[in-house]
Amino acid sequence: MGSICSDFAVSDGQTTPAVNITMARGAVVPIHVDDPLGLLQPVTPMAVNFDFQVHLVTSKGLHHNASVQASSAVSGDFVVTFPFGTPVTLKVMSSHLKVTDQTGNPMSAVGTGVTVASGATPSAVQYVIAGTQSATSGYPAGLP
């Protein structure tokens, strides 16, 4: 494993000797959210939806927010890039919404573990906004 270099500069059209950047290959994973009760407000693509977020969490605890691709009054589509062969966790983040998986099971506060095999085409992940949390029920899906 290589070392991490915190500061270096690259000028347009120039090379920077002794700096190697290696990017992991991965796949873009689509995430579809059904909102049959219309509880989410539509947001523009690439915006951050503070009402509902899906994060990819690495084994080192780094969070990468899934990007909004499309949003309407009854659904939302997000994408996030998964590195091939690296176990990650998907966490749903909302302070007041009840969220289930596609089979109707409540989302776990620890998230869902996912690994995408090298070269595989991942299936879409699906969630459903099932209602709102009461003020006394605490935080749902992924929030402390």
Question: Can you give the pLDDT at residue 54?
Answer: 93
Edge-to-edge strand list for the sheet holding 63-65 = 63-65, 53-57, 88-93, 112-114
Distances (CA, A) of 83 to 28, 38, 92, 116, 134: 9, 33, 19, 7, 37
pLDDT at residue 47, as a whole number:
79
Render pLDDT for 39-86 as a digit per residue (tens, 0 to 9). Answer: 988 888 877 878 889 999 988 888 999 999 999 989 999 999 988 888
87 close to 94: Cβ distance less than 8 angstroms: no
Decide: residue 140, CB within 10 A, 0-12 exposed, 13-18 middle, 19+ buried.
Answer: buried
Q: Residue 77: in which H helix or E strand, if any?
A: strand 75-83
Interstrand relation of 97-101 and 63-65 (parallel, antiparallel or unpaired)? unpaired
- The reported pTM is 0.74
Enumerate domains of the chain plus CATH numbers.
26-132 (2.60.40)
The reported pLDDT for the residue numbered 114 is 85
What end-to-end distance do the CA atoms of the chain give, in Å? 34
